[in-house]
Structure 1
Amino acid sequence: MPRFMSLIRIDEQAAAGFEPDPGFDERMGALFEEISMAGVMLETAGLAPTAQATRVHWSGGKLSYTDGPFTETKEVVGGYAILQCKDKDEALEWANRFLRVHPESWSVTCEVRAIDEATG
């Protein structure tokens, strides 16, 4: 069964001001329980803010390091999930359900990509 990576993209600066509504934690917990019981969720986690990150860049045969935060970047990966689904349509359905748990005032993007099993 194919695996998919779901990358949760957020505007980190705007997200700092987002407050979840009273039912958010319960809705998210119920969805995570359902997706886990279905055997779809293999792994998930949120990521620390970019202020705690370092980018390593290779160019011209040299390495360079840049410590966060990365203010020039509007959208960053704020979390991820690895899903095992029968096909991409099923992975997209879970992504749809995940996004709909969030309050309407939030802006969250979920990028769904197949894991290349030849290299992964």
Structure 2
Amino acid sequence: MRFMIIVKASADSEAGAMPDETLLDAMAKYHEDLAQAGVLLDGSGLQPSAKGWRIRYAGGKRTVIDGPFAETKELIAGYTLIQTRSREEALEWTRRFPAPHGDGEAEIEVRQMFELDDFTPSASIDRFRTMGIGEAGPR
């Protein structure tokens, strides 16, 4: 089972402030523990939304909307992907996640990812399998 740990943005992360050394150290330790346990798949911080864009789909058209985006609390500052044997194991790992904004108020969101086996078999799903997309590796 794969899970994405989503770190919500803050005004500071949207302003481009880098985490302090204490937080970087805590994040490094946490990710080392994940790696040693064999559950870490990926993880990274994201640049502020001012450096990004969105694509809006409406009426068969695509419109590019450049950042920054207004609702900071709805934005993502970073993520970690883990693979565990169960929801309970993922919950235990996420309880250990370092406070992403130090002593300030923060929130992480955890979402289980779809696996290709969750979908009805089809030629399209086989194409994703061929690319190695959407499948958990051995655990």
Question: Deviations along 1:21-63, whole A, 9 cap, x unmatched?
Answer: x633332222111111100111111111100001001011111
Q: Could you tell me the percent identity over the aligned residues?
A: 33
Are residues 100 and 54 of structure 1, via their aligned partners in 2, closer, same or farther at CA, if it must alter by over 3 Å? Answer: closer
Q: What code does the residue aligned with 2:102 have?
A: P
- Look up the SS of the partner of 2:38 in the other structure: coil
Q: Specify the alignment match of 1:40 in structure 2.
A: 39
- Shift in Å, 1:102: 5.4
Q: Residue 112 of structure 2 is aligned with which of 85, 99, 114?
A: 114
CA distance in 2: counterparts of 1:48 and 1:26, whole angstroms: 19
Q: Specify the alignment match of 1:52 in structure 2.
A: 51
In angstroms, what is the RMSD of aligned CA positions? 2.2
Are residues 67 and 100 of structure 1, via their aligned partners in 2, closer, same or farther at CA, if it must alter by over 3 Å? Answer: closer
Higher helix share: 2
Q: What code does the residue aligned with 1:53 have?
A: G
Asked whether the equivalents of residues 6 and 79 of structure 2 are also in contact (C-alpha less than 8 Å), the reply is yes
Unaligned runs of 5+ in 1: none
CA distance in 2: counterparts of 1:63 and 1:112, whole angstroms: 29
CA distance in 2: counterparts of 1:14 and 1:46, whole angstroms: 13
Q: What code does the residue aligned with 1:74 have?
A: T
Q: Specify the alignment match of 2:65 in structure 1.
A: 66
TM-score (norm 2): 0.71
- Shift in Å, 1:115: 0.9
Q: Specify the alignment match of 2:30 in structure 1.
A: 31
Asked whether the equivalents of residues 56 and 66 of structure 1 are also in contact (C-alpha less than 8 Å), the reply is yes
Between the two proteins, the alignment pairs up a number of residues equal to 115
Unaligned runs of 5+ in 2: 120-133, 135-139
Are residues 3 and 49 of structure 1, via their aligned partners in 2, closer, same or farther at CA, if it must alter by over 3 Å? Answer: same
Asked whether the equivalents of residues 8 and 109 of structure 1 are also in contact (C-alpha less than 8 Å), the reply is yes
Are residues 52 and 40 of structure 1, via their aligned partners in 2, closer, same or farther at CA, if it must alter by over 3 Å? Answer: same
